[in-house]
Amino acid sequence: MSKLVAFAAIQGGYKVVSTVEGELRNALDSYDASTKIGFPNTAYYLPVIYSLTGMKCETLEDLQKPMEFAHGLLPPHIKSKNHLPYLGPLLDAGMAAIFAYEVKEALRILREPDFYIAEEDPDLDAGKMWVGPADDTILRKRGVEFVDGSAPGFAAIVGAAPDPEIAKMIVEDYQKKSLYIFCAANHNGRTLIEQCIEAGMQVGWNTRIVPFGPDISSAVFALGFANRAAMAFGNVQPGDHSKMLMYNKDRIFAFVNALGDIGTEWACAAAGCVNWGFPTLADTDIPEILPTGICTYEHVVANVPHDEMCQRSVEVRGLKVTIAEIDIPCSFGPAFEGERVRGADLYAQCGGGKSQCTELAKMADMKEIEDGKVEVVGPELNEVEEGGIFPLGIYVQCAGREFQTDFEPILERQIHHLVNYIQGIMHIGQRDIAWIRVSKAAVDKGFSIKDIGTVIHAKFHQDFKKIIDKVQVTLYTKKDDVDALTKRARAEYKTRDERVENMRDEDVETYYSCTLCQSFAPSHVCSVSPERTGLCGAYNWMDCKASYEINPTGPNQPIEKGECLDPVLGQWKGVNEFIEKASRGTVTHYNFYSMLLDPMTTCGCCECIAAVLPSCNGVMTVHRDYRGETPCGMKFTTLAGVMGGGAASPGFVGHSKFNITQGKFILGDGGLLRMVWMPKSLKEEIKERIDKRGAEMGCPDLYDRIADETVGITEDEILPFLREKEHPAVKMDSIVG
Ligand code: SF4
Ligand code: ZN
């Protein structure tokens, strides 16, 4: 290890601490000492300082203490005879610089409150490129991924690559390994983020390319994020610095890539990161620090070629990532799941109300299918012109000695996230209301419809080894074939739905959870009971039970109901305890049978959204396919946008189509007799079941009394109709209490 690096880092520590001391003095001259400071929407103050020292910085004058502390850490100059040469002082100088950088960022936010956009994605149109420190909502959503292993770690990249192509290559290598890429600092005024944007990449938390800030000081947000995750999910107490740093070393697989010349200010930041066990790999010829002490292997590695940056970093940090090699021209993995395909990027699409897109998974006989056979029946994507719409039927046949028909819905539901894992492809919905958008970038890379089958084949084998021996996929792109598949699929869905038809919630002691949607709606937990199917319509109680059998540690866990706290609204002690844990404290309780009082949370997959109509003393519901206005004043898309993030919103609830006519549907609010408005197409689709359920509730002609868009699309328009038809809701107790 070189005296030179140690010298640069220590010198950097002095320089940074004294600069920030000056900035703080200036701030104290121009603002009142009691002026509030801090990062937005967080309970962790300035998180690095708070987590390591326990100091809670809330005002400008509070910043003096950590600065004094930082100053005290600055080591004396290097002595020549030292056993483990220079590492101790080097680490202290680095830590001092990190503290100072965090104070510097707090001062920036005080001076320029709008510098960062406190959201997941930058707003490039508004010129807001930097997202700054993640707030606690983002922390809860993303931080847990580091703890539960769905994101193995992060690459903190400072500086810029020689050109946008190289930037893209490095970043995509990390994305493929499901790592987050935290970006900060510039090299001669250029930043990696600008290069990514130039190379046509989408940046933001959703694609795991996080634009923290343009200066080296913003690299401190990466460390603050790691420490908050340790406090929030690892139960590390603020101030317990040794446990905090050990936790990071052992649990958070992170490292730094320095792209560009490493001056003193980067050197001290790199030294600071060694305290966390995060090594630095550089693309320039800097003196290396190779003895292994704090980091798992080397501390600083120089001269790493760009095309080896990812591989070397992963090795040096000792990270084990398993990546699925799937033979398609696009990158593939969870990092691409949250990516959107917006209008300007769109090449072609299917489903989403524009054409039919249907998914069906069916069990097959072992002899009947050929494993790995993927066939496109009809035109391929290269025959669809830009801006085009095509129909699609995805028919997956599965066979295996242990396979049962009960597993079909579970495998079918995987299609959603698996298609989303393909870079440049977006998948929404399920069953016969799926919607797939293909980007120009994916088509440029050579993406074809066949690749959907390739992915399904490979991932079904990987993820369901226990039950799958053979998978064959047929992709229909001719309208007649798709319509035939849809007809058949609808009959299958009906049979599946009806398997719970005669079951009552009272009959079982165990419900099931579904947390499949937490990647999009982090605090969302569906609780599925016999009389409340999952709000996407794809999972009922039977399906969840089967899913648990296949994968006992998967997203569907049994919930012991426990003591019934409210039989009318449908609330149980065991369920509450479960959801509190599964939502990581965000949701403490909810009612199964009410949309007014503490309803269940809703995610973006719901088939329908119900809303209270106070003047009509009833409720309405609207399904995804209906694009018009509704009496609650919002279209489906608006409702889904408001509710879809996993929140519970009293007065609204997401639910499946089938659930509308299940026995417990909003029974605590009066049940189906409250339903005063539905789109005509939905009403017709479930007419038979409305008739049956209406009769059970003493209103056999309920169907005729429910208004639809032909009657009106405002409460005022439909109220006379309801009165005239003597809709039962009109005479019920007031819905708003
Ligand atoms: Fe599971 Fe609910 Fe998502 Fe359906 S909507 S996949 S039931 S979490
Ligand atoms: Zn969902």
Query: Residue 84 has what pLDDT?
Result: 44
Nearest residue by C-alpha to atom 6 in ligand 1: 516
Pocket test for ligand 1, best of 410, 514, 600 (most atoms within 8 A of CB): 514
Ligand that comes closest to the CA of residue 540 = 1
Ligand 1 in reach of 539 Cβ (< 6 A)? yes
pLDDT in tens, 602-650: 988 889 999 999 999 999 999 988 989 999 999 998 898 888 778 888 9
C-alpha distances (whole Å) from 467 to each of 136, 440, 470, 551, 711 are: 40, 36, 9, 10, 51
Q: Low-confidence residues of the chain, pLDDT below 70?
A: 1-6, 77-86, 147-149, 287-297, 319-325, 519-520
Distance CA 650, CA 653 (A): 8
Ligand 1: distance of its center to the CA of 187 in Å? Answer: 45
Q: Which ligand is nearest to the CA of 516?
A: 1
- Residue 172: its H or E element: helix 164-176
pLDDT of the residue at 82: 45
Nearest alpha carbon to residue 508 among 537, 473, 469, 540:
540
> CATH 3.40.50.2030: which residues of the chain?
3-116+131-317
The tally of CA atoms less than 13 A away on the side-chain side of residue 696 is 12
Separation of alpha carbons 562 and 41, rounded Å: 36
Would you give the distance in Å from CA 550 to the centre of its chain?
24
Quote the pLDDT of residue 426: 95
Is the minimum distance from the CB of 514 to ligand 1 under 6 angstroms? yes
DSSP 188: T
The residue whose CA has the least distance to atom 7 of ligand 1 is 534
With a 6 A CB cut-off, is 516 part of the ligand 1 pocket? yes
pTM of the model: 0.65
The fold of the 505-731 domain, in CATH, is 3.40.1470
Rounded distance between C-alpha atoms, residue 366 and residue 368, angstroms: 6
**What end-to-end distance do the CA atoms of the chain give, in Å?**
74
**How far, in whole angstroms, is CA 554 from its chain's centroid?**
17
Location of structure tokens 């499901």: 178
User: What pLDDT, on the 0 to 100 scale, is given for residue 568?
Assistant: 96
- Residue 127, judged by CB atoms within 10 A of its CB (0-12, 13-18, 19+), counts as exposed
pLDDT attached to residue 289: 60
Atom of ligand 1 nearest to the CA of 555: 1
Fold of 342-417+424-496: 3.30.1650
Q: What is the pLDDT of residue 148?
A: 65
What top-level class would CATH report for the domain 3-116+131-317? alpha beta
Give the closest ligand to the alpha carbon of residue 604. 2
Say how far apart CA 304 and CA 432 lie, in whole Å.
50
Q: Which residue has the CA at smallest separation from atom 4 of ligand 1?
A: 536
